[in-house]
Chains A and B, each alone.
Chain A
Amino acid sequence: MLLISYSLFTTFPSFKNTTQGVFSQPNLHTSLSDLYISTQHSLAFSAYSLYICSILVRYSRYAASMALYAPSSDVIAQVKDRGIDIGFIEGSYSGADIECIPMGSSYLHFVASPELIGKNVIKKDDLCNYNMFFIHRKCSLRRIIEENLATSEIDRKLLKISIESPSLESIKASVIAGQGISILPYLCIKKELYSKSLVIFEVENVKFPYSYSLIYKKKNVKHIKTEFINYMERVGKEKLC
């Protein structure tokens, strides 16, 4: 049986309260044939998350599985302490009991509506002329952005951060409406770039690298977990696009 939740910001144990009604609360420790997977936001908005789900279908002959979309910090906590087998996070994580496998890398991009910024490249100092929509500080993506801002010597205090939201969709909608600019992962803006509702612009001499990782607890007694990890290592990395 395959159980998948698409609830944003759904975290254990609160997901039992989801209004989406996909399933009732499962027992996380019922069976060695269950595989629980948690995925962070930006991957959740890409075809990659659906690809992960398709792999779950591949294993569904003997597994009850589930994908939850949560901030990376929650994903890490779920893998460490709350019975989740596999987590997909932004960046990487090092912990004594957690294994972290890099799955791919990309860039974060400055984005705006086509009408807001009339040129392809702007100077760092010009950033303060625009309202900025940032992912909320509880999300790992925000930490990656903050680190990149510091590395690029962009003074964060000069930026006009008008709204912080945990929802990438809300941020995208605000930017598309021409209310400001944002910094977003390429994976979650491809559709908007194709439809030209968003455009990427460069900031002089600034690049924001960004990576994804798979994490799991080293102590493993599940065959299905090993099988899934091996499959992702062997094939899954190539599918990140």
Chain B
Amino acid sequence: MEKPNHTIDSLGDICPLPLVKAKKLYESMCSGDSLKIITDHSCVVSSLNEYFIHFPCTIFIEEVLNGVWEIYIKKV
């Protein structure tokens, strides 16, 4: 996985906060930029996936620790 341009550490945050942060940052991102969101709450994974699936971007989700996920969003 290439180094992301932006990172949001959302450990301890629940929805909708990570989604709000990701949405705001995504809007300011240029085409080709990528964003990594770190979360420890499964609902955040679902909500980000459900939201960004409608945007021109690629989403990659990895559970890096039991109960901790890195979500990579790359704007196309």
Contact = CB atoms under 8 A, between A and B. Distances in A.
Interface stretch (A74-82, A188-196, A212-220): A188-196
Given A190-B40, A239-B43, A241-B40, A50 B12 contact: yes
Given A190-B40, A239-B43, A50 B67 contact: no
A152 interface: no
Contacts of B65: 190, 193-194
Interface residues of B, number: 15
Interface string A39-57: 0000000111011001000
A189 to B, nearest CB: 10
Contacts of A51: 14, 41, 43
A86 B68 CA distance: 28
State the main secondary structure of chain B at its contact with A: loop
A47 B10 CA distance: 10
Contacts of A193: 65, 68
Interface in A115-167: none
Interface string A178-209: 00000000110011011000000000000000
Contact of B13 (A50, A186, A190, A239): A50
Interface in B6-26: 11-15
Contacts of B11: 47, 190-191, 194
Given A194-B38, A239-B42, A50 B14 contact: yes
30 contacts: A46-B12, A46-B40, A47-B11, A47-B12, A47-B13, A47-B40, A47-B41, A48-B41, A50-B12, A50-B13, A50-B14, A51-B14, A51-B41, A51-B43, A54-B14, A186-B66, A190-B11, A190-B65, A190-B67, A190-B68, A191-B11, A191-B40, A194-B11, A194-B40, A194-B64, A194-B68, A239-B41, A239-B43, A241-B41, A241-B67
Interface of B: 11-15, 38, 40-43, 64-68
